[in-house]
Structures are given as C-alpha cells and as structure tokens.
Amino acid sequence: MEIFSAADNLSEITPKDMGFVVLTEFEDDQIYEGMLIDYYVSPLFGIKMKWQTEITQVDYRKSFTDFQKKDLTNYGITIMNLFPMNRAF
C-alpha cells in the first residue's frame, strides 16, 4: 500500500485529533531508513508541539518503524503495519 511508503502520507494514518502536520519538505518523500521527519502535533488541548522522528526500519509498502527523537518524553517507538503482526505468546 502506497500510504506506508511516503512520508507526506503520515498525516493520513495519524488520528485527526492529533493535529499532525509534516514540516519537512521532500524532493522524493519515499520513506527510507535513517530519514528524519519534523512535524507539529497537538496531542493535548490543541497545544502545538514540534516533534522529530527517525525512520528506523522499512518493509516497503507493508510497514515501517520510527523512533521519536524529539518529543515530550524524548523516547518513543512506533510500528506502523499494513498487515497484522504475527505474535507468539
């Protein structure tokens, strides 16, 4: 799915009430490992905060993992998947 391959699509997969706005401008916005993306997000009471994420893993058109480099806690990992992950518990 193309939505998981382009950085500008991150706002499409983020809940609207988060107020997610990509700030980084890309010539080619295809997601790749090591990509840094700056954005605004408004998670609490509409207060706009500047965050930065680094794409740490990409499975083209299926999933990506990002690490929140600059956020409220300065720590956070997000895994976005098109298909459910297989887990053994």
pTM: 0.70
Residue pLDDT, tens place only, 62-77: 888 888 877 555 544 4
| Measured distance CA(16)–CA(21) in Å, rounded | 10
At residue 73, the pLDDT reads 55
In the DSSP assignment, the letter for residue 18 is: G
| Measured distance CA(18)–CA(39) in Å, rounded | 11
**HSE-up of residue 59 (Cα within 13 Å, Cβ side):** 9
Asked whether residue 87 carries a pLDDT value surpassing 80, the answer given is: no
Mean pLDDT for the chain overall: 76
Helix, coil or strand: residue 70: strand
- Provide the residue type at 46 as one letter: G
Residue pLDDT, tens place only, 40-58: 888 778 888 888 889 888 8
